[in-house]
Amino acid sequence: MTDGTASRSPARRPGGRSALVRGRILAATAQLVARDGIAGFRYEEVAEVAGVHRTSVYRNWPDREELVAEALLQYAEDLASIADTGDLRRDLVDYLTALANGLDTPFGQALGLAIQPTRESSTVRQTVARILEQRGAAIRQRVNVAVDRGDLPPFDSTFLGEMLSGPVHLIVNRGVRPFTRTDAERIVDVVLAGIRATVPSR
């Protein structure tokens, strides 16, 4: 006679092959949304692009909107992080360079399309809003730290983030030329110089 609790199988956790399959599905979803937009995204193509069985997609994400939302969130972290090395200029230049690189990936393209008005569900709209808020919160936190340290005069950190990121989106979306670190340096220098010249220090 055995103890009933001992004979139970341990709970399965996502890992190994399961985690690999999920990652491929999410990457394929971001790629397809980047290509076709959310409105044109075809649920049936995911398995083919990911190189997995169709049932793997349906089993993990029976709802199309949930799959799109998770794919966007999965690839959002690189666009929402900014370091604090103590050198504000360097941190902002690194941030803009990483942002440009991220926007030029399938995920970045997918996010750009998702920002446009769509008739998609509130799930996707809320996900896009969450990603944008994460990005905004990261830059606001870094700017507020700089103000506290005296590296910048008191300034609206939300507006500063918009002034920094706006030119990046413009250059990347136009696709006329690659965005370079020199572009990032020029943007940061002009914005910071403007703030320091027009906003009185505390």
For residue 23, what are the contacts with CB-CB under 8 A and spacing of at least 6?
none
Cα separation values, 186 from 85, 90, 147, 192, Å? 20, 12, 21, 10
Give the confidence band of 40 by pLDDT, cuts at 50, 70, 90.
confident
Residues in the chain: 202
Where would I find the H helices in 75-156?
Answer: 88-103, 106-115, 122-149
Residues 193 and 100 in one domain: yes
If asked whether residues 28 and 118 sit together in one domain, one would say: no
**66 lies in the same domain as 88:** no
Residue 1 has pLDDT above 80, yes or no: no
What pLDDT is attached to residue 6? 43
153: domain CATH number? 1.10.357.10
What's the pLDDT band for 81 if we cut at 50, 70, 90?
confident
Inter-axis angle of helices 64-74 and 122-149, to 10 degrees? 20
In a domain, 169, yes or no: yes
**70-94 burial by CB neighbour count: b if 16+ within 10 A, else e?**
bbbebbbeebbbbeeeeebeebbbb
191 & 109 share domain: yes
Residues of the chain above pLDDT 70, percent = 82
pTM: 0.70
- Note the pLDDT tens digit of each residue in 129-181: 777 787 788 888 999 999 999 999 998 988 998 999 899 989 988 888 999 99
- Residue 144 lies in domain: 77-198
